Every structure is written in structure tokens, then in C-alpha cells.
Structure 1
């Protein structure tokens, strides 16, 4: 019976390790005295110490054109400028782009021989995933338009200008607001600086672009260009072609494109009326001449829509006076 009682006691002895195991989970806390021997900074847990942050895009300084000063030695800077613009270090490229802007604003004669290279560099930088580099290149394009717009299409290859224009339209269509706003400013500078007739021909293909945002931005650029054109330049492009483009944009899905179309139509009508020598007191003659012009160049429904826009604009102008 004694042996049996010892056997019966075995299961109870086996259960004790389960309770001891729960207590055994405490020893890790015993390491704390050991860690006290280390210096305070080593003792800190890694998850409480943030890892060093990589260089941020905010390190790039966005300098307004009016704040860019002349270079002390432009010839020496010019000798290394293209190499720095082709660097793999994007921060160095940003600095070089700002020097490029200084060259354009204060030493423009030095840049004329390399405008093709400059355009290609700006396009390449605009394609960068780095937002800071992209924005800096857009700012550079605006200064290039401002300084060389009158001869840009004549001193650069047509394809390089087309690529620059396309990138600006794409950047103006994206969701990054600070990049989008800068691209819109550059397009505005382009519209008032580049030869209007040549620019209209470049924009013509983009107002039919498959991307509706690109189409809308191209329409806005075209409206700003047309608003500063006289009747002779419009005729050089084609009054009927310009009217047909605007009429097509009236049915666009984006309100931005439709508003641009209305601006183009009003600009055409203003110059058309002045060229026809229609006096202000002969509004019926002006309306009849305009309706005949629209009817001969547009389908009936489109002609009615265009005529209605001019009528509404005339009513609004009377109400404002």
C-alpha cells in the first residue's frame, strides 16, 4: 500500500512545474540591473530612438525670379553648367538649375547657343520623381520662356519644345498642388512670351488630347494666347479653324475647357467685329455678320451655341455698364 501511495503522489508532483513555469517568466526582468551598467544613450531601446531621416526635398530652396542675383563669373560657371545639370545628385541639379535661371535673367547671351541642350535638361528634370527637382525645373522653364520666348521655337528643335510643352501640361494636370500651381504659372508665362502663331500650332494637337485634364490645360493656354492676338495673327492661323476648335471645346467634359472655349469665342468675336468696321450703334449688323460667319463654318447646332455665347456676353457687358 505504501508503494501505491507513492505512485498516487506522482501526478501531483508533475503538476508543480506548470505553476513554476508561470513564475519562471519573470527572470527577463532581472536583466535590468545589467543594462544599468551601460551609458544612458546605449541603454535606450531602439524603438524609442527614431532612425536618422533621409534628406528631405524641403532642403531645396525655391527662389523667386526677382530674387535671383547675377553671377560673379558667368563664363566660369558656364563652363561646368551642363555637366552639373547632368549630375546624378538631384540636389546638385537643383542648384545648377537655379544658376541656369540666373544665366537666363542676367547673362542671356551666353545661353543662346545651348538652348536645345537647356530644353532637354529641363524636360528630363521635370520627369524626375523628386517633387523638388520637378518644381525647380518648372520654375526654370518659366524664366526661359520669359527671356527667350520670342526666339525659342526658332533656336530649338520643334520636338524638344513639344516635349517641354507636353511635360508642363502633364504637371499642370496632376494632383500635387505645389507642382501643379507652378506649372500653370509657367504656361501663363509661355502664353504671353512665345510667338503666338507658332504657339497656337503647337497647342492645336493638345486640345484634342485623350487626357481630359491635359486637354483642359491646353485649352486654357490657347485662350490666353488668343486673347492677346490681333485679327491678322488669327487669320494667319485661320479664323474658321480657331472657331471650330472653340466650338468643339464647348462640349468638353471639364468646365475648365468649356470656359476657355467661351473666352476664345469672345476674343474671336471682338477682333471680327473690329475688322468688319461695324459701329457700336449697329448691333444688329454685327450680330448678322457674326451669325453668317458661324453658319458658314460650323454645323447648325454648334453655330447656335456660339452665337448664344456672344449674345450672353453682350448682355452681361451692358448690365455691368
Structure 2
């Protein structure tokens, strides 16, 4: 039997090369503190710098030792580039206002301008501390704050009205508190002249806060004080606020109208003059609104 030739032999499948086996190499992954494992408790957020600020109430402020020496460096410290030092210096300025006001008086205008600058700072701690300082300044200096710092006071008033209008609750509440201290410590007549420009402000929230402060001023005034300011001007301001879109402004206007009515009509025979007064000084539609709030009979 003839042997098969190699050419007729069945094809031989070539042997596949052996697949290289993967070698598992253990690599130790460094833990990333910024990434939390789902089985671990989340890392607490890093502390903010503002957390280190203590907001000291006026009652807890103490007199300064050696105030005659420390007053010499107060303005320089308030103008520091370090915001923490500014906060500390603002608290010292509050101490000067409360316990050593005569030493602060020569630099009062400059210090008030620094307060205004700090209120504009986006850092909440600095803003709030400066507003707290303005509260103490109103209580310590009263009318002197208007007399000694006329231009600086105007800037301070704008900032307080603005901060009282903001959404940050703790800033808004502190500014409202400062505005109440302002009304309670400064004579109503000069303050009304400062506030009257802001009831026509483009920002409705500022208009509302100005109307509230005017209402508080009027509540402290008698008939003679209202006459000195100008009854016609006062009723016209109230009419503007009464048609404002914010309820806070409208409520303040109602309070002004009621207070004016009580003063103008103290005697029964003067009640008829209220209607005449409103109709004389206001457009008919505004006069009607006034008579609905405080009818003449």
C-alpha cells in the first residue's frame, strides 16, 4: 500500500501562540481628601475666615485702657489692608464712641467715611461690624453726627437704606436696627430733610425704607415741627408713598397721614380744614385717598 504523500496529508492547524497572562499589580491609591468614599461620612466643609469674627453687642463693649494713646493710631488701623484688623479697629471705634467720645470727635467725619467704605465691602463680617458701629455712633453722638459730618452722614444714610433693603437677613436686620437708632437719637426736622430725597429713589426697596424712617420721624413731631418742615411737602411725600408698589411704603404713608390728621385736627372745629387742606395741596385722586385713610368727619 502506497504511502500518502505529504502533499495529500490533512492540513495541520498551526498552534496559536499562548496568550500572555495578565499580572495583577496592586497599586496603592492615595486617599484624596477632596473625594468622599460612599461608605465614609462626608468631610466637614473647611472653616471660613468669617467664622472667627465675634460680633460684640454694645452692652459687652468695655472702655479702652489708655484711650489717649490708642486714639492716635485708630485711623491708621481702620485703613489697614487686613480686614481682620479693620474689624478689630471698628470695635475699638465703637468703644471710643461709647466711652471716650470727646477723643473721637475730631476724627469723626473721617471715621464715618471709613464706616461707609466697610459697609460696601463684599465680606459680610466687615459689613455687619461697620453697621453695628453706626448704631453705636448714632446713640453716642446723636445730632452731632449730622452737624459734624454732613457729607459723610449723607453717604452713611444711603448705605444703611441700601443694606436694610438687601436679602441677607442678618445684614438687613442690623441695618434696620441702626436706622431706628438714627431716628431715635437725631432731631426729626434735620433728619426729614436728609430723608426726603430718598422717597423718590429709583430702587423701590430704598424708597420703602426711607418712608418707614420718615414715618418714625413724624411720630416724634408735634404740629409746630410739621409746620416748620412744611405740611404741604409732608402730605405730598405721603401721597407718593401711598401709591408705591411695596406694602411697606404704603403702610408707612398711612401712618404719616394719620399722625398729620391727629395734629391738624386736634380741635373739632379744625376737622373741616383737613379736607380743604388735602384738596388744596394734592391732585383730586390723591386727596380722595387721603380722606379714605383719615376722613374729615
Report if TM-score (shorter chain) is over 0.5.
Answer: yes
Residue 242 to residue 52, structure 1, CA distance change in 2 (3 Å): closer
The match for 2:263 among 267, 271, 280 is 271
Residue number in structure 1 paired with 2:167: 175
* Count of matched residue pairs: 284
Q: Please give the per-residue CA displacement for 1:222-262, whole angstroms capped at 9, x wherever unaligned.
A: 11111101222211211000000101111100000000000
Cα RMSD (Å) of the superposition?
2.4
Residue number in structure 1 paired with 2:279: 295
Give the whole-Å Cα distance in 2 for the aligned partners of 1:54 and 1:299.
59
Give the whole-Å Cα distance in 2 for the aligned partners of 1:4 and 1:229.
119
Give the whole-Å Cα distance in 2 for the aligned partners of 1:171 and 1:78.
29
SS at match of 2:295: helix
Instruction: Give matches, 1:217-236, under 5 Å.
Output: 217-236=209-228
Q: How far 1:63 sits from its partner (Å)? A: 1.1
Q: How far 1:31 sits from its partner (Å)? A: 3.1
Contact conserved, 2:264 with 2:270, CA < 8 A, in 1? no
Q: How far 1:76 sits from its partner (Å)? A: 1.4
Q: Which structure shows the bigger proportion of residues in helix conformation?
A: 1
Q: How far 1:4 sits from its partner (Å)? A: 5.7
Give the whole-Å Cα distance in 1 for the aligned partners of 2:164 and 2:157.
11
Give the whole-Å Cα distance in 2 for the aligned partners of 1:44 and 1:109.
60
Q: Please give the per-residue CA displacement for 1:100-140, whole angstroms capped at 9, x wherever unaligned.
A: 11110111111111111011010000011110110000010
The match for 1:80 among 62, 73, 93 is 73
The match for 2:83 among 81, 90, 96 is 90
The alignment's TM-score, normalised by the length of structure 2, stands at: 0.88
Residue number in structure 2 paired with 1:107: 100
Moved more, 246-255 or 144-153: 144-153
Residue 47 to residue 294, structure 1, CA distance change in 2 (3 Å): closer
Give the whole-Å Cα distance in 2 for the aligned partners of 1:229 and 1:76.
42
The match for 1:139 among 125, 132, 139 is 132
Residue number in structure 1 paired with 2:3: none
Q: How far 1:198 sits from its partner (Å)? A: 1.5
SS at match of 1:252: coil
1:154 to 2:138 alignment: no
Unaligned runs of 5+ in 1: 36-42, 315-321
Instruction: Give matches, 1:231-242, under 5 Å.
Output: 231-242=223-234
Moved more, 178-187 or 141-150: 141-150
Q: How far 1:52 sits from its partner (Å)? A: 8.8
The alignment's TM-score, normalised by the length of structure 1, stands at: 0.82
Give the whole-Å Cα distance in 1 for the aligned partners of 2:262 and 2:10.
120
Q: How far 1:308 sits from its partner (Å)? A: 1.1
Q: Please give the per-residue CA displacement for 1:143-170, whole angstroms capped at 9, x wherever unaligned.
A: 11111121212111x3211111111011
Residue number in structure 2 paired with 1:309: 293
Moved more, 195-204 or 122-131: 195-204
Give the whole-Å Cα distance in 2 for the aligned partners of 1:227 and 1:286.
20
Give the whole-Å Cα distance in 1 for the aligned partners of 2:165 and 2:220.
24
Unaligned runs of 5+ in 2: 1-6, 37-42
Q: How far 1:74 sits from its partner (Å)? A: 0.7
Contact conserved, 2:265 with 2:271, CA < 8 A, in 1? no
Residue number in structure 1 paired with 2:242: 250
